Amino acid sequence: MTSLFQDIEFLKGVGKARGEKYRKLNITTPFELLYHIPRKYLDYRCHIPISQTEINEYSVLKLTVTDKLPSLRINGGMTVYKAAATDGFDSILIVFYNNMYAFNALSENDTYYMYGKITGNFVRREISAPQFVRSSENVLIQPIYHLTAGLSANMVRKNIRQAVEIMHAFPFETLPQYVIESYSLCTLNFALTNIHFPESIEASQSARRRLAFDELLYLQLGMSMLKSNHRLRTGCIMNSKIASVQDFFGSLPFELTDAQKNAVSDVVSDLCREVPMNRLLQGDVGCGKTVVAAAACWFAAKNGMQSALMAPTEILASQHFETISRFLEPFGMKTALLTGSMSAKVKKSIKDDIASGEVCVIIGTHAIIQKDIDYKCLALVITDEQHRFGVAQRAALAQKGNFPHKLVMSATPIPRTLALMIYGDLDISAINQLPKGRKPVATYAVTGKMRSRAFNYVRKIIGEGRQAYIVCPMIDDSQSELLAVKSYAENASEELLHGCSLGILHGKMSSAEKDSVMNDFKDGKIQALVCTTVVEVGVDVPNAAVIVIENADRFGLSQLHQLRGRVGRGIWESSCILITDNPSEECRKRMKIMCRISDGFKISEEDLKLRGPGDFFGNRQHGLPPLKIADSACDMELMEQTKLCAADILKKDPTLSLAEHRSLKIETLRMFSDNIVS
């Protein structure tokens, strides 16, 4: 019999060709197929009478086939198959296009549950290309999966049914019995069966809770073990007696906030310990994280050691270089910028200075982790917007030194309870104060009817010499009916912003193209930048005084706040205009929050209440291993339970070496990979 860990093509009916299709979904074994979780369910039990259907809406009907009609060839070489059916009161036509197999599967006088789009008119209705099951079938809750070309829903369901049968023949469990009982969880066999073929909606919910619990528990265990692994002795112990950060504070042309001073104190204290610092510096947009990073670099340089700061883009690296070198210049500390676009000659000169120790702070993109770069004494590694770097990139930079201290910076405020769970391997410092004199951005929410008026205001601001961001949520017209960036820019140049110089920025552009556009915007060559959320974390343009966010309902509150933070960085009064035609009560609540609250941490708390913790994982995952289930199924209670459970397990068995924890260790290693958790 096929094992769960044999190649997927050994399942009956798969073979080599279909096996390749599964590999496109990253499924190589029946075991991985078991974890191909349905994205939703089709509940055939919730059927309605034909009389209650609405044209152009999808419905579930219980129909008896009364007559199979002759096929019909139409223009374009398409064949249409039709069958008459009834629900006992009214009649309807079942229609298939170029699908003889589905049509032949129907039998006259048999009854089926059907799901499809209702078309036709008030007099005669049709159900187009429906999915269906016989009414005699026991499984009336059907899973809907993410598919790829060449894999049909029926194929995947049949193959998963085989994998479930193999699992039942060789049942297994990953959690100790005491955990299952303590947290009222179903067994893994029940979960993996009912997530695919649920006995009831309640059974599917119980299954999803168990699988989400597993994922979050592995995450918590991995993070905790990762944190323990960081507690090695560093070769970069510093001494606070050598230098006082008060000297650095005194050299600044402004007063630091108490939150900034506390963060610097946390970092300096860590730098003097025998174990490597592993700290997250979390702060709102414009809160002044860079000066904290500069203070850390200054302290390391005073101790005769080097620091390296890695940024995700060249333009952001250049911005950090300008800021930090300005802070360190008065002390005679040499700072270098290293990026991929520099000439070979310039790179060689900088690399030589790094190797000799002449440069004490190195700032750049991933270019600073290349194999041919040798540091004389790398003691501090700083990464900006750490979720944009893979674990391997951060590890490569850390390996350049002798267990150096690590500081990661994020401008995405996250509620502390959630941050402690997501960043379980890091100590956390939060800067929750804005520098003195920083003006809040006035925020307004309007409907599309006010668009012309809003852009009259934008033109006025541009006319006064300021600049504007215009944010659209989509890139290609094909993605939805929403105006894409390119077509939006064309329309704006002709109508809304006629006579203004416009630029376009989106995620599908190359890094060089993005940098070129942002440099032009920063230099004032572009008056209005039409862009996607690629500017969410980005360059400081003090002259930008207004941001318009179209279809604002498409963004989370925290993301809207990040976008709003692009303006209000100069001496000018700045504004954020949110445009949405979504009439829902939830949308109104969210827009009111944005207009009322300017504190990113408070906004993140509101976002958490409205959307749940899954949204904070989202697509970017904050640099975490990918989560298949927990990002949509978890809630704060489940996260807190798994955190408590992980702490109890590791207190009892820090290395997961006991027999009852063997499976937990295997699954944690599977999630994080061997080179992360050992």
- Read off the CATH number of the domain in which 484 is found: 3.40.50.300
- CA–CA gap between residue 158 and residue 104 (Å, rounded): 20
Residues 424 and 450 in one domain: no
Residues 423 and 536 in one domain: no
pLDDT tens-digit series, residues 520-570: 999 999 999 998 877 755 678 999 999 999 999 988 888 899 899 889 888
Residues forming beta bridges with residue 143, ordered by sequence position: 41
Tell how strand 575-579 and strand 442-446 pair up. Answer: parallel
Mean pLDDT value across residues 165-192: 95
Residues 345 and 308 in one domain: yes
Judge whether residue 425 has pLDDT over 80. no
The two tokens of residue 18 are 């279909």
Q: What is the pLDDT of residue 110?
A: 95
Of 112, 139, 166, the position where a domain reaches its end is 139
Judge whether residue 137 has pLDDT over 90. no
Most confident range (mean pLDDT) of 36-45, 101-110, 381-390 is 101-110
Whether residue 70 lies inside any domain: the answer is: yes
Instruction: For the chain, give the mean pLDDT.
Output: 86
Residue 59 belongs to a domain with what CATH number? 2.40.50.140
Residues 392 and 454 in one domain: no
- Indicate the SS3 state at residue 664: helix
Q: What is the pLDDT of residue 617?
A: 57
Expressed in angstroms, the distance from the first to the final Cα of the chain is: 33
Residues forming beta bridges with residue 85, ordered by sequence position: 65, 92
Domain extent at residue 76: 46-139
Q: What is the pLDDT of residue 483?
A: 55
Whether residue 600 lies inside any domain: the answer is: yes
Q: What is the pLDDT of residue 371?
A: 79
Residues 475 and 416 in one domain: no
Half-sphere exposure of 461 (CA within 13 A, CB side): 26
More confident position, 416 or 573: 573
Q: What is the pLDDT of residue 486?
A: 81
- CA–CA gap between residue 528 and residue 470 (Å, rounded): 7
Confidence of residue 341 (pLDDT cuts 50, 70, 90): confident
More confident position, 424 or 221: 221
Whether residue 221 lies inside any domain: the answer is: no
Of 573, 605, 637, the position where a domain reaches its end is 605
Confidence of residue 366 (pLDDT cuts 50, 70, 90): confident
More confident position, 489 or 358: 358
Judge whether residue 589 has pLDDT over 80. yes
Q: What is the pLDDT of residue 678?
A: 39
Mean pLDDT value across residues 437-447: 89
- Whether the CB-CB separation of 211 and 631 falls below 8 Å is answered with no
Whether residue 76 lies inside any domain: the answer is: yes
Q: How many CB atoms lie within 10 A of CB 424?
A: 20
Confidence of residue 620 (pLDDT cuts 50, 70, 90): very low
The two tokens of residue 620 are 């970017």
Helix (H) or strand (E) holding 630: helix 630-633
The distance between the two most distant Cα atoms of the chain, rounded to a whole number of Å, is 93
Q: What is the pLDDT of residue 230?
A: 60
Q: What is the pLDDT of residue 94?
A: 97
Residues 517 and 584 in one domain: yes
Tell how strand 306-310 and strand 278-283 pair up. Answer: unpaired
- Whether the CB-CB separation of 145 and 36 falls below 8 Å is answered with yes
CA distances in angstroms from 502 to 486, 521, 576, listed in the order given: 11, 9, 18
- CA–CA gap between residue 183 and residue 180 (Å, rounded): 6
Whether residue 10 lies inside any domain: the answer is: no
Q: b/e per residue, 107-130, with b = 16+ CB within 10 A? A: eeeebbbbbbbbebeeeebbbeeb
- Whether the CB-CB separation of 560 and 428 falls below 8 Å is answered with no
CA distances in angstroms from 277 to 228, 284, 414, 622, listed in the order given: 12, 22, 21, 19
- CA–CA gap between residue 218 and residue 672 (Å, rounded): 9
More confident position, 350 or 40: 350
CA 456 to chain centre: 35
The two tokens of residue 351 are 């690399």
Quick one: angle between helices 314-328 and 289-302, nearest 10? 60
More confident position, 438 or 651: 651
Confidence of residue 394 (pLDDT cuts 50, 70, 90): low
Residue with tokens 């995700």: 312
Q: What is the pLDDT of residue 480?
A: 45
Task: Tell me which DSSP letter residue 551 carries.
Answer: T
Helix (H) or strand (E) holding 17: helix 15-24
Number of structural domains (the chain) is: 3
- CA–CA gap between residue 496 and residue 660 (Å, rounded): 66
The two tokens of residue 505 are 């920025």
Q: What is the pLDDT of residue 534?
A: 74
Of 139, 158, 187, the position where a domain reaches its end is 139
- CA–CA gap between residue 541 and residue 567 (Å, rounded): 8
Q: What is the pLDDT of residue 378?
A: 92
Q: What is the pLDDT of residue 640?
A: 84
Task: Indicate yes or no: pTM above 0.85.
Answer: no
Give me the helices (H) in 464-579, please.
Answer: 485-494, 511-522, 557-564
More confident position, 509 or 663: 663
Lowest-confidence region among 61-65, 390-394, 650-654: 390-394
Phi, psi values for residue 38, rounded to 5°: -60, 140
Whether residue 610 lies inside any domain: the answer is: no
- CA–CA gap between residue 576 and residue 544 (Å, rounded): 11
Judge whether residue 475 has pLDDT over 60. no
Judge whether residue 481 has pLDDT over 80. no
Lowest-confidence region among 195-209, 548-562, 617-631: 617-631
Residues 504 and 595 in one domain: yes
Judge whether residue 623 has pLDDT over 60. no
- Whether the CB-CB separation of 420 and 615 falls below 8 Å is answered with no
Residues 482 and 423 in one domain: no
Residues 392 and 479 in one domain: no
Whether residue 410 lies inside any domain: the answer is: yes
- Whether the CB-CB separation of 125 and 84 falls below 8 Å is answered with no
- CA–CA gap between residue 270 and residue 267 (Å, rounded): 5
Half-sphere exposure of 656 (CA within 13 A, CB side): 23
Mean pLDDT value across residues 242-263: 93
Confidence of residue 441 (pLDDT cuts 50, 70, 90): very high
Whether residue 29 lies inside any domain: the answer is: no
Confidence of residue 676 (pLDDT cuts 50, 70, 90): very low
Helix (H) or strand (E) holding 531: strand 528-531
Phi, psi values for residue 384, rounded to 5°: -100, 135
Q: What is the pLDDT of residue 477?
A: 47
Residues 403 and 479 in one domain: no
- CA–CA gap between residue 549 and residue 597 (Å, rounded): 17
Confidence of residue 491 (pLDDT cuts 50, 70, 90): confident
Judge whether residue 651 has pLDDT over 50. yes
Residues 401 and 459 in one domain: no
Amino acid at 10: F
Residues 379 and 462 in one domain: no
- CA–CA gap between residue 632 and residue 519 (Å, rounded): 38
Most confident range (mean pLDDT) of 178-182, 337-341, 559-563, 611-615 is 178-182
Mean pLDDT value across residues 173-196: 96
- CA–CA gap between residue 66 and residue 341 (Å, rounded): 71
